[in-house]
Amino acid sequence: MEDTKFSKALSRRVQNVPPIWFMRQAGRYHAHYRAIREKHSFMDLCKVPELATEVTMGPIQDFDFDAAILFSDILFPLEGFGMGLEYTDEGPRLGWHLRAAEDLKRLRPTADVVASLAFQAAALRQIRERLPREKALLGFVGGPWTLFSYAVQGRHEGGLLEAKRRLNLFASFAEHLVPVLEANIRLQLDAGADIVMIFDTAAGELSSEAFRERIVPVLRGLADRFPGRLGYYSRGTGPDHLRDERVLLAPWAGMGVDHRWAMGSALGLRREGFIQGNFDQTLLHMEPADFEAELLKWLAPLERLGAAGRAGWVCGLGHGVLPKTPERNVKRFVEIVRERLA
């Protein structure tokens, strides 16, 4: 990994200004993305490496984020399993859903799934060639529970009733999924990603007990397989979820927290690796003056920590950039953080 702001955060070196990147920093709020999307399907934006590269690079060019993150989608392993996948105006749609143990027999073998993901490696190699050396490059995969939830019910809604009804299928599904995730992570790292994030956006729907009992062992296995190369972000998880020694002592490159955490408290969550987060993404929809006032209020306790107290921080949002977020506020976020902490 190049000596970037991001690598300094990963190794907890002191720096006044943290690296800044947003989840979903390439997306529908951005005029650059919308112009490309008018001419191409979402599937093509993900699967044609030249298009994925162009979409990925747009936020770097327009907002000067410190890291680029591969433009793709977490659901492609499910498509590779043979579950079918299309994107509609209502969101992603699978061809069939996992509802019983017998359905596991329909899943394609690992080698076939991994072969279907080669487009991600091609895109990462192209992004790496275009990306300035001072910028980090991130890949990502879906979290095991999140992918299980989509496999069972097709979308993240309704408190995950259908997925929770089939909790006892999770371990068997993970036997198929984990080898695919490991191979996908390796594919992305070999293609030039500095780290790979695991996005477990449905994890917070689980009780802390269910999370620790069923999900943590799978996560720990992935972290141990790629020490120092994986980041983990889970939406809606709190201290009772994440303050498990198997999580805290796992060799993560870093962890992300959503806006429900006090950022100063989250920075003390682990002694190694980065902590990413966590301005409330909905506040970017405020009028400019109101947004800037909220951002300054959020930054104040982090300013008081000083550079040493902020070591390891990767500045970002609690979750991804929402559609229709004003580009002006995205730009000002980056400018204000750098101005205040310089």
Determine the pLDDT at residue 280: 98
Q: Please list the alpha-helical segments (H only) found in the chain.
A: 5-10, 31-37, 42-47, 49-63, 76-78, 110-115, 118-130, 144-153, 161-165, 170-190, 208-210, 216-225, 239-242, 245-248, 263-266, 288-309, 327-341
Number of domains in the chain: 1
Q: Give per-residue pLDDT as tens, 139-149.
A: 999 999 999 99
pTM attached to this predicted model? 0.96
Determine the pLDDT at residue 92: 93
pLDDT at 83 over 90: yes
Determine the pLDDT at residue 42: 96
Determine the pLDDT at residue 38: 97
CATH of the domain at 75: 3.20.20.210
pLDDT at 1 over 90: no
Average pLDDT in the chain: 96
Cα separations in angstroms, 180 against 208, 213, 275? 26, 22, 26
Determine the pLDDT at residue 91: 86
Range of the domain at 233: 5-341
pLDDT band at 243 (very low <50, low <70, confident <90, very high): confident
Helices 327-341, 49-63: inter-axial angle, 10-degree rounding:
60
3 state DSSP class of 137: strand
Q: What whole-number distance in Å separates Cα of residue 281 and Cα of residue 170?
A: 31
DSSP 239: H
pLDDT at 3 over 90: no
Q: Is 135 left (phi over 0), alpha (psi -120 to 50) or beta?
A: beta
- 3-class secondary structure for 100-118? CHHHHHHCCCHHHHHHCCH
Q: Give per-residue pLDDT as tens, 152-169.
A: 998 777 789 999 999 999
